[in-house]
Structure 1
Amino acid sequence: MTPPTLTAEILTGCSEEHLSALANGQLIHQQMQPAWQKLQQAAAADGITIAIASAFRSFQRQAAIWQAKCEGTRPVYNLQQQQVEISKLSGLKKLEAIMLFSALPGASRHHWGTELDIYDAAAVTSDYRPQLLQSEYSESGPFNRLNQWLETEAAKFGFFRPYKKYRGGVAPEPWHLSYAPIAKPYQKALTMQTLQNCLGQHPIAEQQAVLANLAQLYQTYVINICEDNE
C-alpha cells in the first residue's frame, strides 16, 4: 500500500486517508499495523492482552472534548487527580488546566493514527471500563504488569511513550503509546504555523485566548515530550 502524501489535513485530524480499520473498528495509521500486531503477539506470549481504549481521534472529536471541558460539562483534573473548578479560571490559566490532560484540537497526536491509549484486558473483568488514571498503572493497579512490560519491550517494535514523565506540560500518561517511525516526522511537520492555519479555518472554544497564547502552548504542550530513550 502506497503511503499517502503527508498533508496539513492529516497532521491536524481533518483527514482519514492515512488510516486503516482494525477488527474492532478502531482506526490506526495503515503503516503502523504490522508493528502493532507484532507488539500484541509478543505481549500475548507473556500473558498480557493489549487492548485499545482510544486510537485515532478526528479534529471534530477533539474539538467536542475540548468544548465540553471549556464549558465545564466534562471534568478537568489537576496532577493530583482532583477536579478543577474550570468556571473560576480564564485565559491562559484555563487553557493550561485543560491541556494538562487534553490536547488542543489540531494538535492532538491522536490525529495521526500513530497513538494508542492501551490497557491489559487480561488483568480485569470483561465489564471493566478503563479510566486511564495513573493509579491503574501504578504498583497496586491492575495494569502495572503492562506498564512494566512496555518499559522493556515497547521499543523493540518501534513504540515509545511520549508522556512517560511530567516535563511541565502534559501530565504523565503511562497508557499512551506512540509509533516512533511515523510519529517523529509527523511531529516535526506539525509547525505552529500549520496549527494556526488549522484553527483559523476551524475555530474552537476559547479561540481568542488560544491564538493569543499559541506560541507558549505549542512549546509547552505540543512539542514538549519524552524522547524514546528517556
Structure 2
Amino acid sequence: MNEFWSSFLANYALSTSACIACGVNESALVAFTKQYVHRHIVADLSALSSAAKAAGFDFAIASAYRSFWRQKAIWNNKFHGHRAVYDQAQQQVDLSALSELEKVHAIMLFSALPGGSRHHFGSDLDVYARNLIPAGQRLQLEPWEYEAGGYLAEFNDWLNEHLADFGFYRPYDRYRGGVAAEPWHISHRAVADSLAPEQSIAAIATTLERSDVAGKETILQHLPALYETYIVNVAT
C-alpha cells in the first residue's frame, strides 16, 4: 500500500476492509478492459464476458469501480442542479422545489450516496452489449433499453438466464421502495457479500464527516433510515 493510502487510513481510523467498501482504498483493484474491478472477480467476469461473446453479444462495461471522490462529484453536481435528476418515469425533477431531505431521496433513486455505493466494492458493474446499440445512438442506462422492445432486451434475457452460472446477480432487479430497478447493474455475489457488512452506517458516517458532500448534515441526521431504504434494501 502506498504512502497516501497508509496516511488516509490512519486519518480515518477505519479498517482496510471498511475503507475498500466505502471507496477510499483501491488496494484490491486490478485493471480489466479499461476499467478497474476487484481482483477476486476477474476469473468469473472473464468467463461471463466470453460466454456472452460466444452467444453473439459484444459484452461491454459502462462503469465498474467508482471511488468515493468520483461518487461525491456526481452527487454534488446533482444536489446543486448542475446535473439532471430523474424520477422513475424518466422525467426531470425540479430540485428547487424540494427540501434538502427531499433532494436526497430524489437523487438516491438512481445515484448512490458517496461512501454507500456498491460500485465502491469493485464487484459491481453496469453492463451492456456494444453490438446492439444502434448506429448513431448512445447508451443511456435507462430501464426501457433493457425491457421488451428495447435494443438491449435480448442481452437482458441472456443475462437473466446465465448470470448466476458465473457467480453474478442483480441487486436492483426490481424497485423495492428505495433504488429504482437497474437491469444493467450486476454484482459478483461472493465479493459483494463479503464487503457489504463493512459498508456500515458507522463507516459511511465516518467517511462523510471528513468530506464536503452536499447536504451532509441532513444526510447524517437521517443516515440510518437512508441506509435501510437505499443501501441494504437489495435482492438477496
SS in 2 for 1:225: coil
Q: Displacement, 1:193? A: 0.8
Contact kept? 1:114, 1:179, Cα under 8 Å: yes
SS in 2 for 1:178: strand
What is residue 166 of structure 1 aligned with on the other side? 175
What is residue 18 of structure 1 aligned with on the other side? 28
5+ long unaligned stretches in structure 2: 1-14
Structure 2: distance between partners of 1:122 and 1:68: 31
Correspondence 1:189 to 2:198? yes
Q: Displacement, 1:117? A: 0.3
Q: Displacement, 1:125? A: 4.4
What is residue 136 of structure 1 aligned with on the other side? 145
Cα RMSD of the aligned pairs, angstroms, is: 1.3
Structure 1: distance between partners of 2:135 and 2:61: 14
Instruction: Kindly tell me the number of residue pairs found equivalent between the two proteins.
Output: 222
SS in 2 for 1:33: helix
What's the CA shift string for 1:46-94, capped at 9, x where partnerless?
A: 1111100101110110000000000111000001111000111113211
SS in 2 for 1:7: helix
Q: TM-score if structure 1 supplies the norm length?
A: 0.93
What is residue 213 of structure 1 aligned with on the other side? 222
What is residue 107 of structure 1 aligned with on the other side? 116
SS in 2 for 1:118: strand
SS in 2 for 1:187: helix
Structure 2: distance between partners of 1:184 and 1:6: 16
Q: TM-score if structure 2 supplies the norm length?
A: 0.91
Correspondence 1:200 to 2:200? no
**Matched ranges for 1:59-74 at <5 A:** 59-74=68-83
Contact kept? 1:159, 1:179, Cα under 8 Å: yes
Identify the match of residue 188 of structure 2 among 179, 182, 190. 179
What is residue 85 of structure 1 aligned with on the other side? 94
Structure 2: distance between partners of 1:68 and 1:89: 16
